[in-house]
A and B are shown apart, each in its own frame.
Chain A
């Protein structure tokens, strides 16, 4: 069996695949770098698959906290792992949009699923899950409810500030002038989508576009991005764990390559 672990900034995932490449188990915990969540997700996937670490031939760790997990056989970036994970789950894909808690990435793939080019957002939180998280605080809702709230919007309210801190002030001003929270929520989704659209334009994008990461669970965000790109945006199964699944695939590929070279 092959184990992949993705230690992100705000969540941790693990995936286990069998010798013949079947996905056996996936686990997600909403705690990231700095926590011991990686121990929990590993325990979860092993338990779900009814196995132990003794049966794991190779482990690859990825994500923001990848360099801190020393038990892995290899560490690979989440960009490479998302490419492998999407290829595994969705077949031929041209563009991946991964909106994570800490940063956003646009990954362009070649026909074989290899990374052809990529772009990460700069340090600021605009265009990341963090932006939406800040908005929930102002709008007085949970992250899970934000999408539903935006779905009820009847009027478009633009959020023009790119900076998350200033955007928070702008949202407060909008609410203070009587704008509906639902419309402001939709405006926040569109603001993130516009930011990501800018990144897509810089790196180049074409169908099929797939969105990964925890923010892909937010259907309003997927819709907003789809409208900005003018293309359908698909969401793979286990969208939050695509990095971990890609890491497990990388573990299998690396192990087979090593054994092939040695035999």
Chain B
């Protein structure tokens, strides 16, 4: 039975449009678009809406070129393209963090090009671990709440935020358990299924999604130990797109047993602080406690050591770097952890991708060669 749930989740991850339609129909809730990387979705959920992840997609770009140059990443260009074509006409507002130069431009472009969809900008502090930084994060979360209230014409109570935070805590806990169990069963939770299940969460009501994840978790607990003989890989980056790349991983016996993805574990691996009572401060402390995330200033550059620890803990064979073309923040990190991986003798594969790519032969050769090198 839980295997059907796996298939359903994988379908949703592969077909965001259909997943969102179903979510809207089944919940009756309004939709609010949330850009990557870490938007305070709890506030949207507290408003009785479903936050919909805006991770781009594969389409031909034409309208977006009016606003964004070809050297902007495909996620930002596609989001703008979809919006200009009316794909997001259903969303009641969008929340856009300002993590990189492209995102900062998109915030302004969106206001100009799509005035009918209210734009809520969000800035996280660079110095998030100073007291002032912590207070700033709280004030930003509250500002987002206020602007969302104006966009939706409704009040969001503190109680509603607390309830939403509780839903998200359950989701994060279930996802931490899922990724642990998935690593033990790479024959069932294959590379593609693992990724698509994680991605599906961006297009579903988190309470519904969490129940389905729990069902998968319970099913995996009943399974006999895995006999998987292929390559156990850790994947890092924003996302693993296009999905054909995942097919090539599977063709070459590669399973993803751990991840450091912006659309994956970076969303749930940082636990909240039990001793903190105020819900806004709890949310701010999650941002405060984040480690090794490309998009949050990390003077100690812990990503490399975290990848190495993850590799050891999960008995992985290698690290795969999924680099979205023109993603400056991810590219800045790469030379640092590349040197650390090499120093530790960990094989790694660098794949530069963008969501619009349609030819995969070069990537097939890279992935197959890497597989032949390890096996």
CB within 8 Å of B: which residues of A?
64, 67, 76-80, 103, 114-118, 120, 122-123
With an 8 A cutoff between CB atoms, is B69 at the interface?
A: no
Q: Which residues of B contact A116 (CB under 8 A)?
A: 373
With an 8 A cutoff between CB atoms, is B369 at the interface?
A: yes
Interchain CB contact (< 8 A) of B369 among A67, A118, A122, A123: A118
With an 8 A cutoff between CB atoms, is B352 at the interface?
A: yes
A80 close to B373 (CB less than 8 A): yes
Q: Which residues of A contact B309 (CB under 8 A)?
A: none
Q: Which residues of B contact A80 (CB under 8 A)?
A: 369, 372-373
A114 close to B373 (CB less than 8 A): yes
Q: In the complex the two chains form, what is the Cα distance from A123 to B362 in whole Å?
A: 8
* Chain B interface category by residue count: 10 to 19
Q: In the complex the two chains form, what is the Cα distance from A67 to B373 in whole Å?
A: 19
Q: In the complex the two chains form, what is the Cα distance from A78 to B369 in whole Å?
A: 8
Q: Which residues of A contact B368 (CB under 8 A)?
A: 76-77
Interchain CB contact (< 8 A) of A77 among B347, B352, B369: B369
With an 8 A cutoff between CB atoms, is B18 at the interface?
A: no
A77 close to B362 (CB less than 8 A): no
Q: In the complex the two chains form, what is the Cα distance from A103 to B365 in whole Å?
A: 11
Q: In the complex the two chains form, what is the Cα distance from A234 to B357 in whole Å?
A: 37
Q: What is the distance, in angstroms, from A129's C-beta to the closest C-beta of chain B?
A: 15
17 pairs, A vs B, C-beta closer than 8 Å: A64-B361, A76-B368, A77-B368, A77-B369, A78-B365, A79-B372, A79-B373, A103-B362, A115-B372, A115-B373, A117-B347, A117-B373, A118-B369, A120-B362, A120-B365, A122-B352, A123-B362
Q: Which residues of B contact A120 (CB under 8 A)?
A: 362, 365-366
B347 close to A79 (CB less than 8 A): no
- The 6 A-B residue pairs with the shortest CB-CB distance in the complex, in nearest-first order: A79-B369, A77-B369, A115-B373, A80-B372, A77-B368, A77-B365
Q: In the complex the two chains form, what is the Cα distance from A234 to B347 in whole Å?
A: 27
Q: Which residues of A contact B373 (CB under 8 A)?
A: 79-80, 114-118
Q: In the complex the two chains form, what is the Cα distance from A195 to B22 in whole Å?
A: 50
Q: In the complex the two chains form, what is the Cα distance from A64 to B372 in whole Å?
A: 16
Q: In the complex the two chains form, what is the Cα distance from A138 to B352 in whole Å?
A: 32
Nearest neighbor of B251 in chain A, beta-carbon distance? A67
With A120-B366, A122-B352 already in contact, the answer to whether A77 and B361 are too (CB < 8 A) is: no
Beyond A76-B368, A115-B373, A122-B352, 17 additional pairs, beta carbon < 8 A: A64-B365, A67-B364, A77-B365, A77-B368, A77-B369, A77-B372, A79-B369, A79-B372, A80-B372, A103-B362, A114-B373, A115-B369, A115-B372, A117-B347, A118-B369, A118-B373, A120-B362
Chain B 326-375 residues near chain A, CB threshold 8 A: 347, 352, 361-362, 364-366, 368-369, 372-373
Q: Which residues of A contact B352 (CB under 8 A)?
A: 122
